[in-house]
Structure 1
Amino acid sequence: MSVLKAAVLMDPIAGIKPAKDTTFAMLLAAQARGHACWVFTPADLFLREGRSWGRLRAVVARDGVEDYSTLGEPEERPLADMDVVLMRKDPPVDLEYLTACYLLEHAGTWVVNDPVSLRNANEKLYALHFPEFLPPLLVSRDLGDLRAFLVEHGEIVVKPLSARGGEGVFYLHRRDRNVGSILETVTGWGQRYVMAQRYLPAIREGDKRILMVDGVPVPGALLRVPSAADFRGNLVAGATGVAAPLNDRDQEICAAIGPALRAAGLLFVGLDVIGGYVTEINVTSPTGAREIRRFFGIDAAELLWQRLERGR
């Protein structure tokens, strides 16, 4: 096995929660396998004479301690010096995120996940390519359309298309007197598209996060069970993570979606499944690796490095 040089584009490492952070797990797994890693942020990414560069800092990661990382001095280097660049910037997928993807197209080396596919695969909308696994849904910015969808289904969830962690997600029912205000807020008075999905009562049992490495599911998933005070299956919204095996429906979903992910260069992806329905396909910086390793002893980050070592 040859030693890889890897640059990881991420949010500032000083602000992460290492015990839960999947990008940190990737750094740990890379070190354990003898690879050399650098980190940088979008502010450190730039293009010069047709090539993308980064102000890279060598990183040493340490698990289970308060002083969890040591960074070297910044050094300007073309990204082509690296064997691989990991794009692990968290959403929102705003103009700055999209611009970073444009610049990464000119990295001159392997970028994972592929920046063109990151732009194309909106985490709420990409699942539309697999309609057989979706709950009834509507994508619209028209307040009348959204109200009619609510009347049809009685209970719905509305969510913005580019947020994360349950931000801006609302549960609505027909008798809610706040419906008008909420729809006006989430759509910006009809100026922004949102997704409305039929409410799935199975959310009370949990929102299952399945990690996929090169189109293959990690054998073991994270079930995020909402708190009694919330409906959202997001850990940052107070949900509790528990172990969940993959059932036959999960395997069917993964078998159908996996080849498309692999073909698009989306090597590390998180599927969200509620009651056997796919609700999101997370491609930007999916999480859950730390919890899945704790529950099942399987390190999704190590599986990713095993794949990267085989090359493109």
Structure 2
Amino acid sequence: MGQQLHFEKHLLGGRSQTLKFAFVIDPLHSLKPWKDSTIAMMRATEKHGHEVFAIESHTLGWRCPEPGQNGGVFGLAMHLHPRPDDHDWYRETGRDWLLLNSFDVVIMRKDPPFDAEYLTATWLLERAEAEGVRVFNRPRALREHSEKLAIMEFADFIPPTLVARDIAQLQHFIDEEHDVIVKPLDGMGGSQIFRIQKNDPNRNVILETMTRLGRRTIMAQRYLPEIAQGDKRILLIGGKPVPYCLARIPKAGETRGNLAVGGVGVAQDLSPNDRRIAEHLGPILAKRGLLLVGLDVIGNHLTEINVTSPTCMVEIKQQTAFDAAGAFITTIEHLCGVY
């Protein structure tokens, strides 16, 4: 608990102003209250005395202003009152089509895939920014930081990696490294991740399938045996690392630690190397408008930089009492000038 108090004190003192928060999300019924960081943020928002609204991303739109009429980016906003009961976690007290500039803060929490609809949402949210709306993470930063490819900027921290769609290049990389992980550039939750060893009889068909016969670019990385000790999720809030990470440990017979495929999350203190990576990347990413980031670290290597909808807040709080969701809302209050 001392860690939590120190972290929040470092970011902000008291507060006295009510803000209106709009969370742009996937369909409300798809959220999982017992583990979803977005719901943890909503609960923290109301606990801090602010209003909570949810806007399902498919309702976003824009209307040209006309004489005598308001225009701009809008969405169908549901006014929610979050509850602690995971079986009945909110009350809705109204919904209406509202302009996004009627909110003090908009939080983009739609999950990947980063497809044409996600891209369109970032364009709409960037227009809302131009209309004076504070949007986190910033839409332009979301577009410019592929969760897989962003690691290229920080090559000193990553394992041997190849990005390609040419099957011969990928085959050569496997021959060099002997044991690799291949994954699509737009997946999440461990989807379509394969481990290929040099003598794997299925290596050709896996590469053909993953690249769609050389028509889709993928990522290959050296397999890191330290995955057995966990794929660590390190959260950055406002450029500063949360003092605990969540090591997602693969279940027996698995090479993926993702919680979505059965991994077990174990909260632990940051190692000196974890902190070195986090403290190097944190200020750089925060300056670009990435207020909340999830770094994935296996052993001593950075493997991904998650910026769309980083999670693991719930598990960290359950195991350490550190309220990362509360720290996130506190950081936003500070940026909004609420003391």
TM class, shorter-chain normalised?
A: over 0.9
* Alignment correspondent of 1:155: 179
Q: What is the CA–CA distance in structure 2 between the aligned matches of 1:295 and 1:267, rounded to whole Å?
A: 24
Letter in 2 for 1:90: D
* Alignment correspondent of 2:199: 175
Deviation of residue 73 (structure 1)? 3.2
Of 127, 130, 133, 1:106 maps to: 127
* Alignment correspondent of 1:42: 57
What are the residue-to-residue correspondences of 1:15-164 with 2, within 5 Å?
Answer: 15-49=30-64, 51-107=72-128, 108=131, 109-164=133-188
What are the residue-to-residue correspondences of 1:119-268 with 2, within 5 Å?
Answer: 119-268=143-292
Overall identity of the aligned pairs, in %: 44
Letter in 2 for 1:16: L
Deviations 1:233-290 (A, max 9, x none): 1001111111211011011101110111111110011000001100000000010000
Deviations 1:98-135 (A, max 9, x none): 10000001112000000000001000011111111000
Deviation of residue 173 (structure 1)? 0.3
Deviations 1:213-243 (A, max 9, x none): 0110111110100011210010011111112
Q: Which sections of structure 1, spanning at least 5 residues, go unmatched?
A: none
* Alignment correspondent of 2:19: 4
Q: What is the CA–CA distance in structure 2 between the aligned matches of 1:35 and 1:54, rounded to whole Å?
A: 19
Contact 2:33 2:86 in 1 (8 A): no
Contact 1:208 1:244 in 2 (8 A): no
Letter in 2 for 1:169: I
What are the residue-to-residue correspondences of 1:279-298 with 2, within 5 Å?
Answer: 279-298=303-322
Q: Which sections of structure 2, spanning at least 5 residues, go unmatched?
A: 1-14, 65-70
Question: Which has the larger displacement, 99-108 or 60-69?
Answer: 60-69
Q: What is the CA–CA distance in structure 1 between the aligned matches of 2:136 and 2:240, rounded to whole Å?
A: 16
Contact 1:10 1:42 in 2 (8 A): yes
Letter in 2 for 1:190: G
SS for the counterpart of 1:279 is strand
SS for the counterpart of 1:270 is strand
Letter in 2 for 1:36: E
TM-score between both structures, scaled by the size of structure 1: 0.98
Contact 2:34 2:86 in 1 (8 A): no
Question: Which has the larger displacement, 293-302 or 283-292?
Answer: 293-302
Deviation of residue 74 (structure 1)? 2.4
Contact 1:118 1:284 in 2 (8 A): yes
* Alignment correspondent of 1:277: 301
Letter in 2 for 1:32: K
Deviations 1:136-190 (A, max 9, x none): 0000000000000000000000000011001011000011111111101111111
Question: Which has the larger displacement, 251-260 or 148-157?
Answer: 251-260
Deviation of residue 72 (structure 1)? 3.3
Deviations 1:19-42 (A, max 9, x none): 100000000000100000100111
SS for the counterpart of 2:329 is helix
Q: What is the CA–CA distance in structure 2 between the aligned matches of 1:234 and 1:308, rounded to whole Å?
A: 28
Deviation of residue 62 (structure 1)? 1.1
Letter in 2 for 1:75: D
SS for the counterpart of 1:287 is coil
TM-score between both structures, scaled by the size of structure 2: 0.90
1:43 to 1:72, Cα distance in 2 relative to 1, 3 A = farther
Letter in 1 for 2:146: N
Q: What is the CA–CA distance in structure 2 between the aligned matches of 1:62 and 1:295, rounded to whole Å?
A: 21
How many equivalent pairs are there? 312
Deviation of residue 65 (structure 1)? 3.6
SS for the counterpart of 2:127 is coil
Letter in 1 for 2:82: A
